[in-house]
Structure 1
Amino acid sequence: MNVKKILWPTDFSKISEIALPHVKSMTQKYDAEIHILYVIEDVAHHDGWYGAFEEKRVHELMEHANKTASKRLGQICEKYLEGCPLYIKHVAIGDPANEILKLMAKEKMDLVIMASHGEKGHFRFGSVAEKVLKNSTVPVTIIPTGPNEQEG
C-alpha cells in the first residue's frame, strides 16, 4: 500500500478526535501528508434560515465561521500533530459528506481516517461516514466510538 496523502475530516467534537492517534500513526508510518478538513454547513440552504437574514449578513456569518474554523484547525495541528511530516488545513462550506468526497478527488487522497460519527451522531454509524464509505474510491478507515465516547 502506497500512502502519500491521508485525509482526516473533523467536526471539532471529542468524538472525531478519536481518529487522531490512528491518523498520526499512519502518517508517521508512511511519511505521508495529512489533510485536515472541517466543513461548515451552508446555513443559507437550510429551510429555517431562508429569508431570516439578508444575504450580506449570511455572507458575514459564513466568513466569520471560516476564519474561526481555520484558527481552530491550526490549534489542533499544533496540539496533536507535532512530529508529523506535513499537514494541510482545509475549510469548506457545504454538505460534510459531499465536501469530503470532493476533497478526496481533488487532492487524490490515498486514505481517509475518520470517526464512525461526529457530534450530531445519534446512531452507531453516522450518515456522513456511511456516505463517504459507500462513495469512496480509496480505502476508508472508520474508527469506532465506543459507548463511553458518546457525547450527550
Structure 2
Amino acid sequence: MYDRILVPTDGSEPATAAVEEAIALARQNDAELHALYVVEPIPLGGFAAGAKPASAEWGDVVERQRAEGNEATAAVAELAADSDLEVVEAVEHGNPDAQILRYAGEADIDAIVMGTHGRSGADRIVLGSVTETVVRKSDVPVLTVRMGD
C-alpha cells in the first residue's frame, strides 16, 4: 500500500514519537523511509540542544541548523537500522510546510507521518501550524502522532 513514507523531523520529542510510528508503518509495508529536516530561512526557534549563538552571523546559524538537521535525520536512520529499512536522509531549506509538501511530491511519497507539534510547542490548540498546513494541503494521507504523556 505504501512504498515511500516521509517523516519530517526537527529532533524534538514529538518528532521522535512520529519517527517510531513511521518506522512501524514502513516495516509493515516494507517501505522506503524518508527522513526530512527543514532549515528555516529565518531561524525563529531555539536549537534542540537549547543553545543559541550569542553574536553569530546568520550564516553561522544556518550552518548550525544544517548540522542539527544532519544529526536529526541520522537519528532516524539509526532508529530504523534494526528494522532493516532503506532510509533516505534529506535536509532542505525553506518554509517547513511548503518544503514538506514539495518533497512529498518530488519523491513520490505515499504517506506522511508527523508529530502534532514540533519543537516550538503548541502553536495552535490542537495541531501545530506546520502540521495543520500539511494536513490541509497534502495530496497523500497524513498520519499525525501525538506525543504521549
Which TM-score band (shorter chain)? 0.7 to 0.9
**Are 1:5 and 1:33, in contact at CA under 8 Å, matched by a contact in 2?**
yes
1: CA distance, partners of 2:88 / 2:38: 14
Aligned residue in 2 for 1:61: 61
Percent identical among aligned pairs is 27
**Are 2:112 and 2:140, in contact at CA under 8 Å, matched by a contact in 1?**
yes
Residue identity in the other structure for 1:67 = A
Aligned residue in 1 for 2:34: 35
Aligned residue in 2 for 1:3: 2
Q: TM-score, normalised by structure 2?
A: 0.81
**Are 1:24 and 1:84, in contact at CA under 8 Å, matched by a contact in 2?**
no
Q: Stretches of 4+ moved more than 4 A in 1?
A: none
State the aligned residue count. Answer: 136
Q: How far did 1:60 drift?
A: 4.2
1:97 match: secondary structure: helix
Larger gyration radius, structure 1 or structure 2 = 1
Please, which runs of 5 or more residues in structure 2 have no aligned partner? 45-54
Residues 113-132 of structure 1: pairs in structure 2 closer than 5 A: 113-122=113-122, 123-132=125-134
Please, which runs of 5 or more residues in structure 1 have no aligned partner? 47-52
CA RMSD of aligned residues (A): 2.1
**Are 2:3 and 2:29, in contact at CA under 8 Å, matched by a contact in 1?**
yes
Residue identity in the other structure for 2:132 = E
2: CA distance, partners of 1:101 / 1:22: 19
C-alpha change, 1:142 and 1:135, in structure 2 (3 Å) is same
2: CA distance, partners of 1:66 / 1:13: 15
